Structure 1
Amino acid sequence: MPAGLVERVQARLAGEGGSLTSASVARAVRAETGVLVSDAEMLRLIRMLLRELVGAGPLTSLLSDPLTTDVVVNGPDDVRVDRGDGWERVSVTFSGEEAVARLARRLAAAADRRLDDAHPYVDASLADGTRLHAVLAPMAASGTCLSLRVLRPTRYDLAALQHQGTFPGLVLPALRAVIQARLAFLVSGGTGTGKTTLLAALLGAVPESERIVTVEDAGELRPNHPHVVRLVARPENVEGAGSIELRELVRQALRMRPDRLIVGEVRGSEVVDLLAALNTGHEGGAGTVHANAVAEVPARLEALASLGGLDRCSLHAQLRGAVQVLIHLRRSVTGRVVSEIGVLVDNGSGLVQSMTAFDASGRPGPGAERLGNMLMAAEVDVPW
């Protein structure tokens, strides 16, 4: 493709206005090339330009694959996809660094976000729910990087996850009992372990008579439940104004008479308001949090609470009464699996720690008795 043709055609089309069609692109190409072009060459240029100017460009076919969960661009010649079995390199390439940067800027603009030299990174959601993260060069020393996470409309229930092997041993009946007893819980795990999927499936098991209010940084949580209100935070616009933070949404959610308050991902100072809410009669709340193991969740919450001005002792005092159960997910060679269920207990010095109720094989651990006592206190049968 002639140097600078994409930019010139793009500028001409923007000046003309109207919808982007093959005919409008052809007119712009003829005007900008200034030379006679054969029909075959014109068709080739139109196809290349449409790929450059519309949607996700060269990544479209990867994103439309129903198995794709993530697509990353590490450079013009390094595109990789995760279809559930880890990263694999694909044959898709870009014409150069500028082509990657052009796609990143176009996707950011489609999400009404700014991406330029003054603001060289962006984290946004596209119209179809796909999560976009991009970093421009030279902040990305190896060249512009793109990360796209695909959110599928498929809604998993607990039975479907059980069929996929997510719940070893007695884990599934234990989780059903936790929901029935209205115990507050957090789902922990690393990136891509399926925390949101499991949380949505668990919320799908909540009785239909209950009202669920979800609060998220991005609208990923879509439980299959008839009475759900979804609140989504809003980033600042291109003018640097209009942002609505997750913490404010948690406060608003408390005024909406939720039977269960759910924070899609606890990642900042909103943990202070969530724990305060769960300590004031809002039972059965839940959320997800990034952590490498159940035992590390209290320390992770300490770090997040410090952002909201809550010290360590105060955090543990709140956590003791707010959350009862921790559920940890990990990725294995066979898929995503619940590797541990823990219960929070006082360690005798005023701090909270996790005790294993069910281990990676789904067998009861030392904390199973304590979990059973909580179920019986809620008049729920202990399923083990």
Structure 2
Amino acid sequence: TTLEKLIAKEKLSDSIDREQRTQIIYELLDEVLGLGPLEQFLRDPSISEIMVIGTDKIYIERTGKLVLTDKKFASDKQLMTVIERIVAPIGRRVDESMPLCDARLQDGSRVNIVIPPLALDGPMITIRKFSEKKLSVNDLINYGSLSKEMAEFLKICVTLRKNIIVSGGTGSGKTTLLNIISSFISETERIVTIEDSAELKLQQEHVVRLESRPANIEGTGEIPIRKLVINALRMRPDRIVVGECRSGETLDMLQAMNTGHDGSITTVHSNSPRDTLNRIETMVLMSGMELPIRAIREQIKSAIDIIVHQTRFSDGARKIVSITEVTGMEGDIITTQDIFKFQQTGMDSTGKILGEYRATGLIPTFAEESKTKGIRLNLDIFK
């Protein structure tokens, strides 16, 4: 190749072995055609996130743990060139007038970019990689993310068209779990998915994918999630799956769930099932509709059936820590009951979290409904 001829011409081949020569060629190609020092991390399937802080620090997340690598950018200019290569293909720009940007790589990986003056330590890049591996519910069971009984229960909930909220903190695996739960939807149904950045990988035949659009350079043309949720109602959906509810679209989602579009699924960023309900209440208020708190809670109680809460533990493991049913209201308070919980028992010498999944012994209130619909619900899983 041209690069090999260049190395030979400069008489570098005498001082380096074949492996070093190959590495130099790869690094040159990454620099000329790719994203420089980030390329090797993008190629590594064991890495889930890449975090750049200025020119000197590149962190990666591998198996749930953060690691500082020895790779660096040579200069601010090199780093800004990489940023330009990320945003240019999708028609975005990053400069002092627009120092924040969300983008997506060609493989679907999500990218967030912040540059000075907002980023005090130099340009910052955060990449959440798009996993090409399609995980199944059996994979999650093998990873210890949930039990067989919990998986069986979630499948029944989807079959019974229960409205499900997947909740959890940042990096807890909400989108992955949303994918798994959505895989239980029948092949015969029309599914409309709505996301900020397309990450869902539903395998059913009849899937309609919608993606929101940010404002252009002139500050116009934005199509937010909320507008897509409203539009989805006109598309004859059997199921609506929203990647994440963050703001006023939550009210439209609740209204959809309450007006015949049952079996819908979304995610909410929260710290517990109770916090999930509080967050939903707050996000409904963000819609601009001046509704009484009691009316909002009535909507939430009527719309949401199940909250599946997931946590990332200190050892990097992601586990469903509770499956909670919304049962009704007592006074002005929404009532719930835990159906399954993860009980942590300790930690081994390597820092691995120890514990077990337990049924609480409580039977979901819709157990009778499954009988009338001819869907077998094995009550033994709740013992």
The counterpart of 2:323, out of the listed 329, 341, 346, is 341
Q: Which is strand-richer, 1 or 2?
A: 2
Query: Does structure 1 retain, via aligned residues, the 8 Å contact 2:56–2:73?
Result: yes
Partner residue, 1:355: 337
How far apart are residue 81 of structure 1 and its match?
0.6
Q: Is 1:315 matched with 2:296?
A: yes
The counterpart of 1:237, out of the listed 216, 219, 222, is 216
In structure 2, the CA distance between the partners of 1:45 and 1:153, relative to structure 1 (3 Å rule), is: closer
Q: Deviations over 1:33-80 (max 9, x none)?
A: xxxxx7469x99998775444322110010110111100011212111
Letter in 2 for 1:144: P
Partner residue, 1:63: 42
Partner residue, 1:274: 253
Question: What CA distance in whole angstroms lies between the structure 2 residues aligned with 1:359 and 1:321?
Answer: 24
Question: What CA distance in whole angstroms lies between the structure 2 residues aligned with 1:372 and 1:340?
Answer: 19
Question: What CA distance in whole angstroms lies between the structure 2 residues aligned with 1:77 and 1:170?
Answer: 47
Q: Deviations over 1:139-160 (max 9, x none)?
A: 1111111101111122222122
How far apart are residue 379 of structure 1 and its match?
4.1
With normalisation by structure 1, the TM-score equals 0.84
Letter in 2 for 1:327: V
Query: Does structure 2 retain, via aligned residues, the 8 Å contact 1:184–1:324?
Result: yes
Question: What CA distance in whole angstroms lies between the structure 2 residues aligned with 1:50 and 1:260?
Answer: 45
Question: What CA distance in whole angstroms lies between the structure 2 residues aligned with 1:56 and 1:377?
Answer: 57
Letter in 2 for 1:381: R
In structure 2, the CA distance between the partners of 1:88 and 1:351, relative to structure 1 (3 Å rule), is: same
Q: Deviations over 1:304-334 (max 9, x none)?
A: 1111024433321211111100001112337
Query: Does structure 1 retain, via aligned residues, the 8 Å contact 2:63–2:316?
Result: no
Partner residue, 2:87: 108
Q: Is 1:248 matched with 2:230?
A: no
In structure 2, the CA distance between the partners of 1:177 and 1:47, relative to structure 1 (3 Å rule), is: closer
Question: What CA distance in whole angstroms lies between the structure 1 residues aligned with 2:367 and 2:28?
Answer: 63
The counterpart of 1:364, out of the listed 349, 355, 359, is 359
Query: Does structure 2 retain, via aligned residues, the 8 Å contact 1:155–1:224?
Result: no
How far apart are residue 371 of structure 1 and its match?
4.9
In structure 2, the CA distance between the partners of 1:169 and 1:46, relative to structure 1 (3 Å rule), is: closer
Q: Deviations over 1:238-260 (max 9, x none)?
A: 33222211111111111111111
Letter in 2 for 1:268: S
How far apart are residue 342 of structure 1 and its match?
0.4
Query: Does structure 2 retain, via aligned residues, the 8 Å contact 1:157–1:202?
Result: no
The counterpart of 1:176, out of the listed 124, 146, 155, is 155
Partner residue, 1:380: 375
Partner residue, 1:14: none
| 3-state SS in 2 of match to 1:193 | coil
Letter in 1 for 2:309: H
Letter in 1 for 2:241: I
Question: What CA distance in whole angstroms lies between the structure 2 residues aligned with 1:135 and 1:163?
Answer: 38
Question: What CA distance in whole angstroms lies between the structure 2 residues aligned with 1:302 and 1:217?
Answer: 21
Partner residue, 1:17: none
Query: Does structure 1 retain, via aligned residues, the 8 Å contact 2:301–2:329?
Result: no
Question: What CA distance in whole angstroms lies between the structure 1 residues aligned with 2:27 and 2:143?
Answer: 41
Q: Figure out how many residues of one structure are paired with residues of the other and give that number.
A: 350
In structure 2, the CA distance between the partners of 1:126 and 1:374, relative to structure 1 (3 Å rule), is: same
Q: Is 1:123 matched with 2:102?
A: yes
Query: Does structure 1 retain, via aligned residues, the 8 Å contact 2:27–2:36?
Result: no
- Unpaired runs of 5+ residues, structure 1, are 1-20, 27-37
The counterpart of 1:226, out of the listed 205, 220, 233, is 205
How far apart are residue 207 of structure 1 and its match?
1.5
Q: What is the correspondence of 1:1-384 to structure 2 with a 5 Å cutoff?
A: 39=10, 51-168=30-147, 170-310=149-289, 311=291, 312-332=293-313, 333=315, 335-360=317-342, 361-365=356-360, 367-373=362-368, 375-376=370-371, 378-383=373-378, 384=381
| 3-state SS in 2 of match to 1:72 | strand
Pairwise CA RMSD:
2.5
Question: What CA distance in whole angstroms lies between the structure 1 residues aligned with 2:26 and 2:316?
Answer: 40
- Unpaired runs of 5+ residues, structure 2, are 13-20, 343-355
Deviates more, 1:86-95 or 1:231-240: 231-240
Query: Does structure 1 retain, via aligned residues, the 8 Å contact 2:27–2:37?
Result: no
